Amino acid sequence: MTPAPSGERTTRRRRRGRALLVGAAALAALLAIALVVLPPLLAHQEAEARYADAVSARNAAGDEYAHAHATFQEVAAPAGELLDVADGIAIDTVRPYVGADAFDTVADRADAVRDLREELPDVVDPPTAQAAEEFDTADEYLAKAEELEDQAEGLSVDAGALTKTADAYVERVPALERALADLRANIPDEAARIEEENVSALALTRIQMRRAAELAATSRDGVASAVREYAAAARAVEESQEAELSEKRIGDGLFETRLEVEDFVRSIVGDTRVDFDWAPIVNGLGQGESAGGYTTWWYSDGGYATMEFSHSIAAYWPDERFQGLVVHEAGHAITSQCQDMLVETFDGDVELMATAWAIGRGYDNPWGNGVDYYYGGVPPAPDLVEASKECR
């Protein structure tokens, strides 16, 4: 090969140097452009990615809240009605008639449920899912992402609070329900206690109280109202007792004896509820060493009666003659339990049945048991006396 002239080699080297300079300048220009363009582009992509993550996080938190909300609503739903019942019962006029311990338990457990409501965050409906949007700038993506992140955090916190409260409701609501059930189940026994303590109250007021007690214990609707009505009926029994005892305090020194006579009657008439009225003259008798008695009875409501006695019975008590008269009248009262016997065995003769019943009880003095007064001294046939013993 023939070497090129020296001048020509110089020219080629210079051209090659210019190309390197141009390439370097272009690379520098590209780097400059990248430094200007890439950071905003990357920032935009990062903002968009953060926003997408925020949308997902917010929707996941929304699902979490929706689940917690549904669980809470399920366990808390009975609480409102139970609290209404408890609040309707937990009043001073009810407490004496339902048992103090049962009453206090209901009040305490109602407060425990009510406290849960006060600790709750605002319970709102679950949010709808957040759809992803498009924005022009990274700043817009970032602002929306921050907003959604805050929402996600808030929803998660509220979901946790709802879950915690729901767990507490699972424990406290059934406890309140049991307390209310126990209180109601105990009402008939409380009514029996109140009646026993107020046996001088009018029979009808005691009957009405027992009916109200049964309703309060078993009603499915209007429970609080039924319990309050029972309490009012129980109070009416106490007021009736006070009024009846006041009527018997007439300042003649025979008050305690009257109560003794009444207790004696109750001891022999079984389940019959009896009212007592006392007067100077009853059935035309009562002056001096005479005694008057008169009894009215009803077959309804388990059988009850009103017995009227002259004051002389208390004055001569426990003379066997006067006891015999009282037992004769008790035989009328207990007829309310034995209507079939009166009709079928005694042919409807109320005096014959009462006389036989007194004799069957062992009160055979004819002065007061009805033998002298109604049958001229001739006692009922022995088979009738025996038959009367089935009415006890």
Q: Are residues 188 and 264 in the same domain?
A: no
Residues 140 and 284 both lie in one domain: no
149 and 23, same structural domain?
yes
Closest CA to 325 of 267, 379, 362, 365: 365
Whether residue 158 lies inside any domain: the answer is: yes
Q: Is the pLDDT of residue 235 over 90?
A: yes
Asked if 175 and 279 sit in the same domain, the reply is no
More confident residue, 76 or 67: 67
Mean pLDDT taken over the chain: 90
pLDDT, position 78:
85
Asked if residue 339 lies in contact with residue 308, where contact means CB atoms within 8 angstroms, the answer is no
CA-to-CA separations, 205 to 44, 99, 159, 209, 238, in angstroms, rounded: 85, 20, 55, 6, 9
Task: Report whether 87 contacts 179 (CB < 8 A).
Answer: no
Burial class (CB in 10 A: 0-12, 13-18, 19+), 372: middle
Give 42 or 275, the one with higher predicted confidence. Answer: 275
Q: Which two tokens stand for residue 302?
A: 């388990």
Residue 109 lies in a domain: yes
pLDDT at 131 over 70: yes
Which pLDDT band holds residue 10 (cuts at 50, 70, 90)? Answer: low
Q: Please give the tally of structural domains in the chain.
A: 2
Same domain, 76 and 189: yes
Q: What percent of the chain has pLDDT over 70?
A: 89
Question: Is residue 335 exposed (0-12), middle (13-18) or buried (19+ Cβ within 10 Å)?
Answer: buried
In the prediction, which pLDDT does 61 show?
86
Whether 305 maps to a domain, the answer reads: yes
Domain boundary among 176, 196, 216: 196
At 91, is the secondary structure helix, strand, or coil?
coil
Rounded to whole angstroms, the Cα distance separating 266 from 220 reads 36
Q: What is the reported pLDDT for 35?
A: 53
- Would you say the pTM of this structure is higher than 0.75? yes
* CB-CB contact of 381 with 354 (8 Å): no
Cα 157 vs. chain centroid, distance in angstroms? 34
- Does one domain contain both 174 and 312? no
The string of DSSP codes covering 200-226 is TS-HHHHHHHHHHHHHHHH-SSSHHHH
Q: Specify if 189 maps to a domain.
A: yes
Domain shared by 270 and 375, yes or no: yes
Residue 287 phi/psi, 5-degree rounding, is: -80, 145
Is the model more confident about 331 or about 3?
Answer: 331
Of the candidates 92, 109, 110, 85, the residue with the CA atom closest to the CA atom of residue 220? 85
Q: Are residues 50 and 180 in the same domain?
A: yes
- Please check whether residues 183 and 290 belong to one and the same domain: no
Domain range enclosing 32: 17-196
The reply to whether 83 falls in a domain is yes
Same domain, 266 and 180: no
Q: Is residue 323 part of a domain?
A: yes
Indicate whether 370 pLDDT > 90: yes
pLDDT in tens, 17-57: 566 665 666 666 666 565 555 567 777 788 888 888 888 89
> What distance in Å separates the CA atoms of residue 285 and residue 280, rounded to the nearest whole number?
8
Degrees, nearest 5: CA angle 104-105-108: 85
What's the average model confidence in pLDDT over 90-104? 95
Is the CA virtual torsion 21, 26, 27, 32 positive or negative? positive
Does any domain span residue 230?
Answer: no
Domain assignment present for 245: no
Domain boundary among 153, 179, 196: 196
* Helix/strand number for the chain, H first, E second: 12, 3
pLDDT reading at 295 higher than 90: yes
DSSP string, 349-374: -HHHHHHHHHHHTT---TTTSSHHHH
Judgement on whether residues 42 and 154 belong to the same structural domain of the protein: yes
Tokens of 51: 């926003």
Task: Tell me, yes or no, whether 58 and 149 share the same domain.
Answer: yes
Q: What is the mean pLDDT of residues 292-296?
A: 98
Which position has the token pair 């209310």? 180
The 10s digit of each residue's pLDDT in 238-261 is 999 999 999 999 999 999 999 999
pLDDT of residue 293: 98
CA atoms of 360 and 355, how far apart (whole Å): 9
Q: How far apart are CA 275 and CA 333, in angstroms?
A: 10
Q: What is the pLDDT of residues 200-229, one digit of tens each?
A: 999 999 999 999 999 999 999 999 999 999
Report the pLDDT value the prediction gives residue 8, as an integer from 0 to 100. Answer: 53
Q: Highest mean pLDDT: which of 2-11, 108-117, 333-342? A: 333-342
Q: Given a cut of 70, is residue 127 above it in pLDDT?
A: yes
